[in-house]
Amino acid sequence: MGLVTYVNGAFVPKEEAVVSVFDHGLLYGDGVFEGIRAYNGRVFRLEEHLERLYDSARTIMLEIPLTRDEMREAILETLRRNGLRDTYIRPLVSRGVGDLGLDPRKCARASVIIIVDSIQLYPTDAYLKGLRTITATTRKVRPDMLNPRVKSLNYLNNILARIEANQAGVDEAIMLSGDGYVCECSADNIFVVHDGQIWTPPPYLGILAGVTRGAVLDLARDLEIPAVERVFTLHDVYAADECFLTGTGAEVGPVVEVDGRAIGDGRPGPITGRLMETFHTLVRRQGTPIFPAEARVGQA
């Protein structure tokens, strides 16, 4: 049996999961989404993802036709119906069907879709050997134009940076703010290590404060590794002892080259390695149980 997808209250085969060509999510990128992971029968930091989804919807005045409890249960039920314990989850809420005009008032009801499937952003050996990146000429949209904390369906800015990485034959592209400060990558948050201290750009600079990013900052504190949010430039990346990326799809990925320059000794660094190992342990034991029987076992 193939995978099934949740579409507006119905569970349909993956191949039959469709939306109207008049849906404003398709026509205008008018909607919000989340990328979530399940490991070992548990959904990692589901509540944080739900909070961000509903906060994003509130900012763009999009009324989600499910309560947060109903959305949580819909996600878990989608996983149960697919019998999945380790997978990627994509809940998506679009403005819904309207007309060819921009006016969101023409959309009577939002569409809710929940997709579960596999995802692999980078080759497996890249996590052993390290990722190669460039700096994109495409700059991040300013937060006073479209706040990046809204995880919207409009990802064209990121896709243009991804195209640059593809054209250069590397794994990822680093994106800068309009003032030239390091923000994030096309699909990940970025960290550098200097003299044993971890740096990552602050949210106000114009980044999506990722859930995995937050988990790694928590892990650094638990491991007693100093970690700070601070503004820095490409010079600080080039001169870093280590560099790594984080994201739901990417997890924790070491970076060994930026714009043709080796980072550190050109191999994944020890702090990155500790965080990768600890993160993989964390996600397999922490999260919302998918199957009720396992939830009762966890409470015993």
Q: Are residues 133 and 226 in the same domain?
A: yes
Same domain, 186 and 105: no
- pLDDT attached to residue 1: 60
Instruction: Clarify whether residues 42 and 177 are in a common domain.
Output: no
Residue 98: what residue type?
G
Instruction: Residue 36: give the domain boundaries.
Output: 4-117
Tell me how many domains the chain contains: 2
Residues 34-43: pLDDT tens digits?
999 999 999 9
Alpha carbon of 39 to those of 18, 86, 91, 108, 167: distances in Å? 27, 4, 17, 36, 33
Q: Where residue 300 falls among pLDDT bands split at 50, 70, 90?
A: very low
pLDDT at 59 over 80: yes
In a domain, 293, yes or no: no
Q: For residue 199, which amino acid is it?
A: W
Residues 130 and 105 in one domain: no
Does 184 share its domain with 99? Answer: no
Residues 146 and 150: their CA atoms lie apart, in Å, by 8
As a whole number of angstroms, the distance between CA 1 and CA 11 comes to: 13
Residues 6+ apart with CB under 8 A from 82: 3, 4, 116
Does residue 251 lie within any of the structural domains?
A: yes
Q: pLDDT (tens digit, 9 = 90+) per residue, 205-248?
A: 999 999 999 999 999 999 999 999 999 999 999 999 999 999 99
Answer yes or no: do 103 and 225 share one domain: no
* Residue 198, pLDDT score: 98
Tell me which of 14, 129, 140, 151 is the catalytic residue.
151
Tell me if residue 151 is catalytic.
Answer: yes
Last residue of one domain, picked from the residues 70, 100, 117: 117
Domain contains 270: yes
Are 96 and 206 in the same domain? no
Nearest CA to 249 out of 133, 90, 112, 134 is that of 90
